[in-house]
Structure 1
Amino acid sequence: MKRYEKFADDIAELIRSGVLAAGQRVPSVRYASQTHGISPSTVFQAYYLLERRGLIRARPRSGYFVNDTFSLAGLGDRAPEPDLRPAVAAQVSESTEVDVSELVFSVLESIKNPDTVPFGSAFPSPALFPLQRLARSLSSATRDMDSRMVVSDLSPGNPSLRRQIALRYMVAGQMLPMEELLITNGALEALNLCLQAVTEPGDLVAIEAPAFYACLQVLERLKLKAVEIPVHPQHGIDLEVLEQALRRYPIKACWSMTSFQNPTGATVPEARKRDLVELLRKHEVPLIEDDVYAELYYGQHAPKPAKAFDTEGLVLHCGSFAKSLAPGYRVGWVAAGRYAQKVERLKLMTSLCASMPAQAAIADYLQHGGYDRHLRKLRHSLEDQQRAMLGAIARYFPAQTRVSQPSGGYFLWVELPETVDSLKVFQAALAQGISIAPGPMFSPTRRFKPFIRLNYGTPWNDTCERAMEMLGKIIRSMMGADAGRRS
């Protein structure tokens, strides 16, 4: 990273954390140069970069100031503090059989048409990924592949790739033995295998509410019952409610996205992740940690996973390259703790191994392709796109709308006025060539009717802007004659 980029990231972090507030002047070029030991030209380059990101602006003969429109999700010059009430009642729900697949399939079908605006997609745009450079790694890895790997690299997977993943854990401050790592066909297979390793049909699993719809589909397929635990839009899974559920029900596993949760974007603070691991340890309940968005953080430091606080091998930590590097390659992994051998045997009993050329290609890219440089660019792009979508919500959606502002990932969880049915919004929007993800697909009990999840993982353009304007019109039309707009 160049010096001006590092200084720009330092200032951006001060803005994100609220140390530099909206409208406040940032350090002068002279002062920044003297105090940080960098040249004035380096400071100027950093400030130009921050201007391009929309974080600061120059005032003639006055210096640089934090943009008013950045503060508080970009919802106007003097937007109110965001309402951070939990999205669902803070109480334990009854265990529920899961049946959401038909709704999920209809949403997935809606994004297959390339002319549809993919706000309902679960994936970022392929345009954000170094696919040509990956193709060179794939070509090189395939050319050099030893035919004996067909047998030697069955599960747990390509040793070079597992070594690279273990190195990334180490750089993040976590020593992880390679023996714990298993390569899978994407994170979804890892999560499936983990659940199979720790449950039997009919068992109860604590899940988040709202929950990632694939989690619900896995429970449905394995004939498991869900106990919904509310997710706070700022703090993530509600530990107090989870503790009540653990006392009340014979829960066999807990599935949680502890960072940049899908769909809310919530991240569990580090101290509460430690508490989560300790709570589950007391009850001898394994945690299946879905951490596929781990690399998509916007600050300078990645949030630690709950796995970092696991001392007894009870956390099965699942990751993937699909969201950060290689969509379509279907390469994920799990650090399965005390369950590593059982998960590996389940893998051998189902799909034997992940694609060997894909594993070798990603191993080559991680070693030679500049992964961290790509990630820095990807994070900046996603943060810019989040800002653009938040601005569009401010312009076009009703005044009563509430929206999350996650510090990573690429989803916004939007609460519409309570009279609006998101399933009807989904149908009306699809008729206009716009896909969204309606709230009921994120709950086995079809809750969250006035909620939608929006994906800002597509580079912003006029088509996105017009689609947001149309969404606003559809939503307001369902509110009645006195529907309002943000000023």
Structure 2
Amino acid sequence: MGRKAIYTRVYNQLRYEILSGEIAIGSPLPPERKLAEQLGVSRNTIVRAYSELEAEGFIVSRMGSGRYVEALHPAPSHAQTHWGKQASGKLAAAPSHMAELLSVTDTYPNTINFAHGDGGKHTLESSCFSDYVKSTAEQLHSYYFTSVQGLPELRERLVAWMDMEPISSPEQVVITSGSQEGLYLITSLLARPGDLVVTEMPTYFGSLQLFQSLGVQIIPVPMDANGMRIDVLEGILARYRPRFLYTVPTYHNPTGWTMSLDRRKKLLALSERYQLPIVEDDAYRHLHLDAEPPPSLKSMDRTGNVIYLNTFSKLLFPGLRVGWVAANRSFARLLTRMKELSITTNTLGQLALAAYLRDDALRPHLQEVRKQYAEQAAIMAGHLDRFRPLGIRYERPAGGFYFWVSLPEEINPRQLMTECLQQGVSFTCGDMFLLREAEQPYIRLCFTHERTDQIDRGMKIIDHVLQSRKELLS
């Protein structure tokens, strides 16, 4: 039994380090004897762990040179009934995290929700946006199609709102049905099944699900509090030629970390050297709690390599489903041709947003929600500080929506998530943001969805469950 426990621990440790990018794709693994000495275990333990990782496709043996970390193929498709065979050849069996997340409130309608990544109904109520929707709904032309590329006035307003030198014309902007459609269009244009894409790890699960469903192989790059590890990325780019890099550099989802200005400059330099397109998902930029973040990658882009992605889902509310892509003119034209396949984005929402921006109503709204979010974050942080004696660790984010919380070693995140859900609190488990489910110590708590009284109540429930599990395991 002890031998099995040691093997399992070594296997899970190596597996997580590969999934998180801490052991980089293409890098050699230590010889069996050397790693056994480093970890203080038997050589047989390492042999067994390596064999399991090789069977799963995480590593490969090369005759005469040892074992190396492989770029993971998308998860294999599950068995399909005959009528689904054609579709199953195009869609890999990626985890249904989005469906799982959105179904929480259907299954548990009274849950205190720290799982959803949005601003909550209280911020929508104070936005006055509903007045613009009502006014727009009285205009007959709001019920008909507009330009495939997007409402011209909205694109003009967005150019002014972004205020970035590389984006000077509405012809460089394409309106999409949220940032997820934007990422789908971009990926479909830049990559084909089997191609490589680089992203920080952990990362937004919607991007992982999309990439895997399109059959794209993902190269993970580890992060720290200053964002993506550019030194690791440089080593990867020296060996591989990915089609593009996807990043959430500002108030990252799920960690809340922000890429430093120095690393942004180095990333742009690597992009220029290797002609690597960068997809910058900037959904949280205007949701800082204190000082403003470093400039966006796109604002510093001098080569046209950065494709900028944003959405009103985080700035206003998720059901609006209006986002945008800003890029060089030639790529914007290609996106528009791809966008023709879904015809257009809802006209009523675009007209309401154009009027909202015309009246400069978004700016005061964001000023107000930043105050609310700062208060909500402070309440959650106060509870998390009281959890520290239980063995939890976290860093307070400077903006965005999330706390990335490390649990004590003996607490299983999925078991904790299940038990808290039964007690009336939901949150997301950290492996949702990895390429595969894995034993890892993290959970993500969203501090913006619930009002302050509900945050207080929900965190007390988590405290009670944590205390109970610690006592049970002690």
TM-score w.r.t. the length of structure 1 is 0.76
| 8 Å CA contact 1:416, 1:450 repeated in 2 | yes
Q: Which residue of 2 aligns with 1:186?
A: 178
TM-fit CA distance, 1:108 = 3.1
**What is the CA–CA distance in structure 2 between the aligned matches of 1:476 and 1:229, rounded to whole Å?**
35
**What is the CA–CA distance in structure 2 between the aligned matches of 1:477 and 1:164, rounded to whole Å?**
53
* Gap change, CA 1:369 and 1:311, over 3 Å in 2: closer
**What is the CA–CA distance in structure 1 between the aligned matches of 2:462 and 2:149, rounded to whole Å?**
46
**What is the CA–CA distance in structure 1 between the aligned matches of 2:95 and 2:238, rounded to whole Å?**
30
What one-letter code is carried by the residue in structure 2 that aligns with 1:133?
C
Which moves more between the two structures, 95-104 or 223-232? 95-104
Alignment of 1:208 with 2:197, yes or no, is no
What one-letter code is carried by the residue in structure 2 that aligns with 1:411?
Y
Q: Which residue of 2 aligns with 1:289?
A: 280
TM-fit CA distance, 1:247 = 1.7
* Gap change, CA 1:193 and 1:428, over 3 Å in 2: same
Deviations 1:396-446 (A, max 9, x none): 454421112111111000001122221111111111111110011100132
Alignment of 1:245 with 2:228, yes or no, is no
**What is the CA–CA distance in structure 2 between the aligned matches of 1:386 and 1:174, rounded to whole Å?**
34
Aligned runs of 1:158-173 on 2, under 5 Å?
A: 158-170=151-163
**What is the CA–CA distance in structure 1 between the aligned matches of 2:126 and 2:321, rounded to whole Å?**
14
**What is the CA–CA distance in structure 1 between the aligned matches of 2:314 and 2:215, rounded to whole Å?**
28
* Gap change, CA 1:223 and 1:433, over 3 Å in 2: same
TM-fit CA distance, 1:291 = 0.8
Q: Which residue of 1 aligns with 2:335?
A: 343
Q: Which residue of 2 aligns with 1:7?
A: none
Q: Which residue of 1 aligns with 2:78?
A: none
Q: Which residue of 1 aligns with 2:298?
A: 307
**What is the CA–CA distance in structure 1 between the aligned matches of 2:456 and 2:126, rounded to whole Å?**
26
| 8 Å CA contact 2:74, 2:217 repeated in 1 | yes
What one-letter code is carried by the residue in structure 2 that aligns with 1:388?
I
Q: Which residue of 2 aligns with 1:269?
A: 260
- What's the secondary structure of 1:230's corresponding residue? strand
* Gap change, CA 1:138 and 1:390, over 3 Å in 2: same
2:319 is matched with which residue: 307, 323, 328? 328
Q: Which residue of 2 aligns with 1:140?
A: 135
Aligned runs of 1:5-24 on 2, under 5 Å?
A: none
- What's the secondary structure of 2:404's corresponding residue? strand
Percent identity of paired positions between Structure 1 and Structure 2 = 28
Deviations 1:1-29 (A, max 9, x none): xxxxxxxxxxxxxxxxxxxxxxxxxxxxx
**What is the CA–CA distance in structure 2 between the aligned matches of 1:452 and 1:292, rounded to whole Å?**
21
1:106 is matched with which residue: 100, 106, 115? 100
**What is the CA–CA distance in structure 1 between the aligned matches of 2:101 and 2:389, rounded to whole Å?**
24
| 8 Å CA contact 2:166, 2:302 repeated in 1 | no
Deviations 1:303-330 (A, max 9, x none): 3111112122111100011111243111
Q: Which residue of 2 aligns with 1:116?
A: 111
| 8 Å CA contact 1:130, 1:374 repeated in 2 | no
Alignment of 1:129 with 2:124, yes or no, is yes
- What's the secondary structure of 2:220's corresponding residue? strand
**What is the CA–CA distance in structure 2 between the aligned matches of 1:235 and 1:91, rounded to whole Å?**
18
What one-letter code is carried by the residue in structure 1 that aligns with 2:211?
L
Deviations 1:348-398 (A, max 9, x none): 12x111100100001101112621111111011111111100101122454
What one-letter code is carried by the residue in structure 2 that aligns with 1:135?
S
Q: Which residue of 2 aligns with 1:255?
A: 246
**What is the CA–CA distance in structure 2 between the aligned matches of 1:343 and 1:133, rounded to whole Å?**
32
**What is the CA–CA distance in structure 1 between the aligned matches of 2:334 and 2:165, rounded to whole Å?**
26
What one-letter code is carried by the residue in structure 1 that aligns with 2:23?
Q
**What is the CA–CA distance in structure 1 between the aligned matches of 2:204 and 2:416, rounded to whole Å?**
20
* Gap change, CA 1:138 and 1:467, over 3 Å in 2: closer
What one-letter code is carried by the residue in structure 2 that aligns with 1:119?
F
* Gap change, CA 1:439 and 1:370, over 3 Å in 2: same
| 8 Å CA contact 1:265, 1:408 repeated in 2 | yes
Q: Which residue of 2 aligns with 1:229?
A: 221
- What's the secondary structure of 1:111's corresponding residue? helix
- What's the secondary structure of 2:308's corresponding residue? strand
- What's the secondary structure of 2:243's corresponding residue? strand
Q: Which residue of 2 aligns with 1:411?
A: 402
Q: Which residue of 2 aligns with 1:218?
A: 210
Alignment of 1:97 with 2:37, yes or no, is no
Deviations 1:81-130 (A, max 9, x none): xxxxxx95633133223455245533332233431111111222121124
| 8 Å CA contact 1:322, 1:330 repeated in 2 | yes
RMSD of aligned alpha carbons: 2.3
Aligned runs of 1:391-406 on 2, under 5 Å?
A: 391-396=382-387, 398-406=389-397
| 8 Å CA contact 1:107, 1:435 repeated in 2 | no
* Gap change, CA 1:280 and 1:104, over 3 Å in 2: same
Which moves more between the two structures, 116-125 or 407-416? 116-125
**What is the CA–CA distance in structure 1 between the aligned matches of 2:98 and 2:222, rounded to whole Å?**
21
**Gaps (5+ residues) in structure 1?**
1-86
| 8 Å CA contact 1:206, 1:227 repeated in 2 | yes
Q: Which residue of 2 aligns with 1:382?
A: 373
| 8 Å CA contact 2:202, 2:254 repeated in 1 | yes
**What is the CA–CA distance in structure 1 between the aligned matches of 2:339 and 2:389, rounded to whole Å?**
48
* Gap change, CA 1:88 and 1:97, over 3 Å in 2: closer
